[in-house]
Amino acid sequence: MNPRQTCYSFFARLYQFLCQCVNFLRKHNFFSRWPFKGSENEGVFEKWSRRCWKGLIGGFILIWLYFKAVEYNFLYLFGELPNTEQLENPKIPTASEIYTEDGVLLGRYFRENRTPVRYQEISPYLINALIAIEDIRFYDHSGIDLKALVSVVANTLSSLGRSSRGGGSTITQQLAKNLFKTRRDDTHGLLGYIPLLRTVIIKTKEWIVAVNLEKAYSKEEILTMYFNTVDFGSNAYGIKTAAKTFFATTPAEVNLQQAATLVGLLKAPTYYSPVFHPQNAIRRRNLVLAQMEKYGFIDSATLVHTQKLPLEVHFTVEKAEDGTGTYFRGVMNNYLKSWCENNGYDLYADGLKIYTTIDSRMQRYAEEAVAERMKDLQAKFEEHWRGMNPWRDENQREIPNYIENAIRATPIYKELFTRFKGNPAKIDSALKAPRRMTVFSWDGERDTLFSLMDSMAYYRRFLHAGLMAMDPYSGYIRAWVGGINYKYFKFDHVKQSRRQPGSAFKPIVYATAIDSFGYSPCSKMVDGPVTIQYIEKGQKKYWSPHNADWTYSYDTVSLRYAIGRSLNTIVAKIIKEIGWHAVINYARKMGITSPLDTVPSVGLGSCEVSLYELVGAYATFLNGGVWTEPMFITRIEDKNGRIIQRFSPYRRRAMSPETAFLMVYMLRGGLQEPGGTSARLYSFRQLWGNNEIGGKTGTSSNYADGWYIGITKDLVVGTWIGGQDRSIHFRTSDTGEASRTALPLFGIFMEKVYADTTLGVTKGRFPTEKELKIRVTKPYFCPTPIKPKPDSLRILDSLRQIELLFNNTPG
């Protein structure tokens, strides 16, 4: 609007206001009571009248100049007002939402928990209640209700020295206050530091913004923005969140008494809270209902009936960590914050829609599988260490002062150290003082009396887990569980954690040998002692690994048998021949980015990696030798549904298609070779029936970490189980081997996945070389002969071997 139009608009509004003033004076017989009217001094009256009108016009011009000075922030005295762009696109802080690929809401990122709604989604009860209690002439005014304003002024003048009711703010003025934070300290300008003048300036700015809002938006749009911006208390911003928080419903479905309660909250969200002050809430609700009856929105019978109803609150406060996929969302935070910073968005206020690769059903099955497996395993762990503490060194001796040292690394210890100025006695007393707290248990949360030291010792006894499922062809991560309970244990064991993978790293060694050094699954080696001499940090060292059972068979075995039995000696001999540098090079090609020491033991998983990296590496075998970076976001949209960015996976060739095919065949050896480390999967009956599975276990030293990476024709699934640190572990192979800890987690999860026919993940064989249209030149079908066994096991093993040989046949 140019200055001339602004001037015309002002005088039009001024003329309208003057007419309303004259009509008001006439209505109240002001002129008939004037002493000079109708007397001999009538000419004096006319002269006075002209002067009066001149004075009024002059006064209104001064008022106009004042309003313009405020509007344009003359000499920075009044503070800025929103410009045209801000008025047309008001920034309402809105929670960003994260969705699964199948459209299920995973969770939300917010400072103010708000989700906007459209006008059609708001119940008429809410609209009528708001108008009845806040602004009955809403549809008649243009942002400022002059009648209400004059009434407020009159009431204020007549009640000087007494408390007055105040009021007079229209819904549009309240919207202006909510949208543009007109009462914030940094918006008032230089004159805003003068207390009384500050109030006048604030009101003036709200009037100006209200009039501008009325020009820019329809009444329905103003009501919608109002309901989307107001604070209902209890971290509920906007009507959608409030309806869900207090009544577990939607704005379209609230009934009359719920609508009156919610609208009544707006006057003072804490004082009228139906949760914390129910009697106040009932009184306020009933007042809103009375106003609705007064102005004809409801009849008397409805009023009487509704005022007698109880509140019937269903209070649920939504927290940022609520919902499924909590670990997945937690890990994504850093990525999304970085993306928003680089692209000019606010993750917690811009209402972004983030669509992920997660499948809500698989995510649910993964979380269920972790809960089932870990509850059972934790009970075994407690029995295993009954009467003893599980934090042990390599010689199985309890680590002295373990809890004391652990608590010194916590923020609460640092806080106590600062508070008590390093006084050991006071710090120790605070750490050992019992207090009421709620703790996690596998039977549900429980209240207890613990000191901080007790709490630390209690939580350190828990085993933790990680599970990640991935589509090897698209790179889409389908399920991600980073721990046992995000509320109590926020550390993620999929990507954030790095632990020793043990034998789960061996397939990378075999892939290196097959792809670049002429080996095949049928290559033969002797299972016997091996020693490797190498230089580390300038010192000559020797490495002589042994098998897990500390024995050597001295048999000549195939590489497929060796990977199936997880023989350390064969891997060590391969590393001795091809070099550990070559293995590290292939690990990098297959997506292992964690630091790897250039030592021969790297091939046995001595260096720490993440579950995220290892699952991505195994996916290379199924994807024809092409490594695909695990992907967790498909697209990001703005609050209006406009696509800001689409995401596609990064790919690179890591090995030949032939090698990838042979590695899939090698990984089946854990189930098909005699004594294979994956044989425990046969106890999961729902996995079998015209189905092929491959996989590899991994157990680190002292049974501190248990891994299982399993492959099917549709999925790669990685699982990890261990203590919070490597000092917490089982003591024996019967309890601590990966085949007894992590492998069953894979089995439980896959049974759930196969049972859901809607997922498209089905049982079946891996593709043959003909189906893959590749030429395999290296021999790979070399079944291991069956050795005689005791009579008690011979019949059972013979039947199983027949099945294995049948499944082992190519094609």
Q: Which residues pair with 541 in a beta bridge?
A: 534
Tell me the range of 6-15, 38-47, 314-323 where mean pLDDT is highest.
314-323
pLDDT tens per residue across span 670-689 = 999 999 999 999 999 999 99
Closest CA to 49 of 28, 27, 33, 34: 34
How many other CB atoms sit within 10 Å of the CB of residue 452?
Answer: 20
Whether residue 552 has pLDDT greater than 80: yes
Whether residue 527 has pLDDT greater than 90: yes
pLDDT tens per residue across span 656-671 = 999 999 999 999 999 9
Q: What's the confidence (pLDDT) of residue 171? A: 87
User: Can you tell me the mean pLDDT for 369-374?
Assistant: 98
Q: What's the confidence (pLDDT) of residue 50? A: 62
Q: Which residues have CB under 8 Å from 56's CB, separation 6+?
A: 18
Q: How far apart are CA 524 and CA 725, in angstroms?
A: 38
The distance between the two most distant Cα atoms of the chain, rounded to a whole number of Å, is 139
Q: 398: helix, coil or strand?
A: strand
In terms of Cβ atoms closer than 10 Å to its own Cβ (0-12, 13-18, 19+), residue 277 is middle
Q: Could you give the C-alpha distances from 23 to 29, 57, 147, 407, in angstroms and in order?
A: 10, 17, 12, 77
Q: How far apart are CA 213 and CA 11, in angstroms?
A: 19
Q: What's the confidence (pLDDT) of residue 344? A: 92
- Decide: 337 and 447 in contact? Cβ < 8 Å: no
Q: How far apart are CA 423 and CA 418, in angstroms?
A: 9
Q: 635: helix, coil or strand?
A: strand
Q: Work out whether the CA dihedral 658, 660, 666, 671 comes out positive or negative.
A: negative
Looking up tokens 């190519």 gives 810
Q: How far apart are CA 109 and CA 348, in angstroms?
A: 5
Q: How far apart are CA 788 and CA 534, in angstroms?
A: 40
- Decide: 251 and 209 in contact? Cβ < 8 Å: no
Which of 92-101, 619-628, 692-701, 786-795 comes out lowest in average pLDDT?
A: 786-795
Tell me the angle at which helices 611-622 and 657-667 cross, rounded to the nearest 10 degrees: 110
Whether residue 801 has pLDDT greater than 60: no
Q: Could you give the C-alpha distances from 783 to 511, 556, 674, 689, 712, in angstroms and in order?
A: 20, 13, 9, 21, 21
628 phi-psi bin (left φ>0, alpha ψ -120 to 50, beta other): beta
Instruction: Give the chain's end-to-end CA distance (angstroms, integer).
Output: 77
Q: What's the confidence (pLDDT) of residue 537? A: 85
- Decide: 307 and 286 in contact? Cβ < 8 Å: yes
Q: How far apart are CA 715 and CA 133, in angstroms?
A: 59
Structure tokens at 12: 């039009």
Structure tokens at 79: 């503070």
Mean pLDDT of the chain: 86
User: Can you tell me the mean pLDDT for 220-224?
Assistant: 91
Q: pLDDT grade, residue 263 (50/70/90)?
A: very high
Q: Work out whether the CA dihedral 30, 25, 58, 202 comes out positive or negative.
A: positive
Q: What share of the chain in percent tops pLDDT 70?
A: 80
pLDDT tens per residue across span 64-88 = 666 665 665 555 555 566 655 666 6
pLDDT tens per residue across span 594-649 = 999 999 999 999 999 999 999 999 999 999 999 999 999 999 999 889 999 999 99
User: Can you tell me the mean pLDDT for 233-245?
Assistant: 90
How many other CB atoms sit within 10 Å of the CB of residue 760?
Answer: 8
Q: How far apart are CA 1 and CA 264, in angstroms?
A: 38
Tell me the range of 95-109, 219-233, 373-387, 773-787 where mean pLDDT is highest.
373-387
How many other CB atoms sit within 10 Å of the CB of residue 652?
Answer: 12
pLDDT tens per residue across span 561-607 = 999 999 999 999 999 999 999 999 999 999 999 999 999 999 999 99
User: Can you tell me the mean pLDDT for 433-460?
Assistant: 95
Q: What's the confidence (pLDDT) of residue 178? A: 76
